[in-house]
Amino acid sequence: MTTSTQTNLIGGAWVDASEMTRFVTRDPATGEALEEYGASSAVDVDAAVDAARLAFPTWCREPAPSRGRLLHRVAQELEAVKDELARTMTLEMGKVLAESLGEVDATIASCRFMAGEGLRALGEVLPSASANRTILTVREPVGVVACITPWNFPIALAAYKIFAALVSGNCVVWKPAPNTSGSALLFTQALLRAGTPAGVVNLLSGGEIDAGRRLSTHPGVDAVAFTGSTAVGIKIAEACARTLTPVSLELGGKNAIIVLEDADLALAASGIMQSAFATSGQRCTAASRVIVQRSVREPLLAELLRRTEQLKLGHGTDAAVNLGPLATSVQLDRVAALVSAAVRAGAEVLTGGSRLALPDYPNGSFYAPTLLGDVRATDTIAQTEVFGPVVAVIDVDDYGQAVAANNSTDYGLSSAIYTQSLHYAHRAATDLQSGVVYVNSGTSAAESGVPFGGMRLSGNGHREVSTHAFDVMTELKSVYMSF
């Protein structure tokens, strides 16, 4: 283990956290310590917000095409460190290297998309009811945006927020998850090498709970963009409501894949495997429920069992491995407890259902990929976000029951349906209460430029990854010009 110093970026300078508190990142496959960092406090938050406010008057007047060109350079810098960044993510949070590389690719794609928006920051010209008057609308940056992001996609989820904030003329204070601090450091260094001016992006390494609370309630913050648990998101929304600070929340999900009797079962099985077990199920869009019509239950389960039992678990840097560890021992304990409770409630373990001590990685946070049968749509395991490699299989008689089961949770992020019926495909697009609906594809196949976000407890109505992100990052001004 090594010790990293000066891992906070404040006002263009790399500095130490103000207090002596330290934290250690660990490889979840081995349990071994990776790096020691300083933990930011509320004092560091104040300094970062002050730096961002100082930089804002100049940055907001930088022409939008120039801000877009900066993001084009950022994309080039990320390309240059793609392999190092992906490997660091895998070491810190465990997912397989191919997925980490894919995350860097998605980040670069988002960067290039938002760079293009520097040339398309369009307003409107509206007709006036009065003679000799022109009416315009323009978008102006809100000021300082606080970005608070999780560990499961340590750079992509941050990038969706940061790039939209920068191209629209805002300054950023970013608090990443502590256990992926190395990934955040590499990403921020790429922003600096691309020429991001001092104070425009500020990084707070690690940080205790009070640092996150201070950032989300800071009077110098003009908007908050958060991805994480629904419970924390609600607390942030309550805090922001007191000052009417705009907040974008991308929260949890209890996503389902519906398989109707006319579906291509091989295609459905592929979509389920990818959606359920990629990132070891630690995605807000992970498919933790499969809702299957009874007439095709057995052949679908046979195919899923065959594929699940072929998965190879191990260290994410091993190219032969399909499934890495859970990100932390705490997450492992939570998943194990939820599965145990489901079995006590009557669920049948079809495969998996246990912790794994792999011969080469006895101290790793591994959990066997798990399929649970005899699950009712109202069971706790079918209602609670697991955030692990666990799928609850729910049997239904027809399309109507499938939709009712899908919509029975408090969440509404991503849903999918497999069918060859144009009739049911179009009905599902309307009937499934989710912010994202896929037909004949899994629940985790979003693309840059397309609005992403959820309904109900999966979000607060805002969308990311697209121009709709500007609804939080900018103020819409109407200008009346009489002549």
Q: Can you list the pairs that 341-346 forms with residues at least 24 positions away whose Cβ atoms lie under 8 Å?
A: 341/380, 341/381, 342/372, 342/375, 342/379, 342/380, 342/381, 342/392, 343/372, 345/379, 345/380, 345/381, 346/374, 346/379
- CA 211 centroid distance within chain: 21
Are residue 234 and residue 267 in the same domain, yes or no?
Answer: no
Q: Measured over all CA atoms, what is the biggest interatomic distance in the chain, rounded to whole angstroms?
A: 81
Residue found by looking up tokens 């699940």 in the block? 308
- CATH code at 346? 3.40.309.10
Residues in a beta bridge with 471: none
Are residue 285 and residue 145 in the same domain, yes or no?
Answer: no
Please tell me the distance from the alpha carbon of residue 445 to that of residue 271, in angstroms, as a whole number.
10
Are residue 149 and residue 200 in the same domain, yes or no?
Answer: yes
Residue 444 maps to a domain: no
Residue 376 has pLDDT above 70, yes or no: yes
- CATH code at 466? 3.40.605.10
Residue 396 maps to a domain: yes
**Cβ 14 vs Cβ 205: under 8 Å:** no
Contacting residues for 147 by C-beta, under 8 A, at least 6 apart: 158, 161, 162, 165, 172, 173, 174, 175, 225, 226
Please tell me the distance from the alpha carbon of residue 420 to that of residue 439, in angstroms, as a whole number.
9
Catalytic residue among 103, 117, 250, 464: 250
pLDDT tens for each residue of 128-145: 999 999 999 999 999 999
Q: Which amino acid is at 436?
A: V
pLDDT tens for each residue of 215-231: 999 999 999 999 999 99
Domains held by the chain: number:
2
Active site residue 250: yes
Share of the chain above pLDDT 90, in %: 94
pLDDT band, very low/low/confident/very high, at 208 (cuts 50, 70, 90): low
Residue 454 maps to a domain: no
- The pLDDT value recorded for residue 181 is 95
Residues in a beta bridge with 173: 146, 202
Q: 7: burial class by Cβ within 10 Å (0-12, 13-18, 19+)?
A: buried
- The pLDDT value recorded for residue 1 is 65
Residue among 40, 36, 57, 58 at smallest CA distance from 215 = 40
- Residue 242, classed as helix, strand or coil, is coil
Please tell me the distance from the alpha carbon of residue 305 to that of residue 312, in angstroms, as a whole number.
14
Q: Which helix (H) or strand (E) holds 365?
A: strand 361-367
**Cβ 281 vs Cβ 249: under 8 Å:** no
DSSP string, 430-462: HHS-SSEEEESS-S----TTS-B--EETTBSS-
Q: How many CB atoms lie within 10 A of CB 477?
A: 11
- The pLDDT value recorded for residue 122 is 79
26 φ, ψ (degrees, to nearest 5): -135, 150
Burial string for 234-247 (b: 16+ CB within 10 Å, else e) reads eebbeebeeeebbb
Are residue 240 and residue 262 in the same domain, yes or no?
Answer: no
358 φ, ψ (degrees, to nearest 5): -70, 145
Are residue 400 and residue 260 in the same domain, yes or no?
Answer: yes
pLDDT tens for each residue of 68-95: 999 999 999 999 999 999 999 999 999 9
Are residue 323 and residue 384 in the same domain, yes or no?
Answer: yes
Residue 3 maps to a domain: no
Task: Find the angle CA(309)-CA(311)-CA(317) to the nearest 5 degrees.
Answer: 160
pLDDT tens for each residue of 168-205: 999 999 999 999 999 999 999 999 999 999 999 999 99
Helices (DSSP H) in 60-129: which residue ranges? 64-80, 82-93, 97-116
Are residue 140 and residue 263 in the same domain, yes or no?
Answer: no
Region 5-20: what's the mean pLDDT? 90
State the pTM of this model. Answer: 0.96
Are residue 236 and residue 264 in the same domain, yes or no?
Answer: no
Residue 194 maps to a domain: yes
- The pLDDT value recorded for residue 206 is 80
- The pLDDT value recorded for residue 20 is 76
Tokens for 431, please give them.
């009937």
Region 142-168: what's the mean pLDDT? 97
Domain of residue 269, residue span: 256-439
pLDDT tens for each residue of 315-352: 999 999 999 999 999 999 999 999 999 999 999 999 99
Task: Find the angle CA(353)-CA(357)-CA(358) to the nearest 5 degrees.
Answer: 110
Are residue 477 and residue 360 in the same domain, yes or no?
Answer: no
Residue 446 maps to a domain: no
Residue 330 maps to a domain: yes
Task: Residue count of the chain, please give it.
Answer: 483
Residue 37 maps to a domain: yes
Are residue 228 and residue 286 in the same domain, yes or no?
Answer: no
Are residue 26 and residue 135 in the same domain, yes or no?
Answer: yes
Are residue 24 and residue 56 in the same domain, yes or no?
Answer: yes
Tokens for 161, please give them.
């927020």
Query: Which 8-state DSSP code applies to residue 279?
Result: G
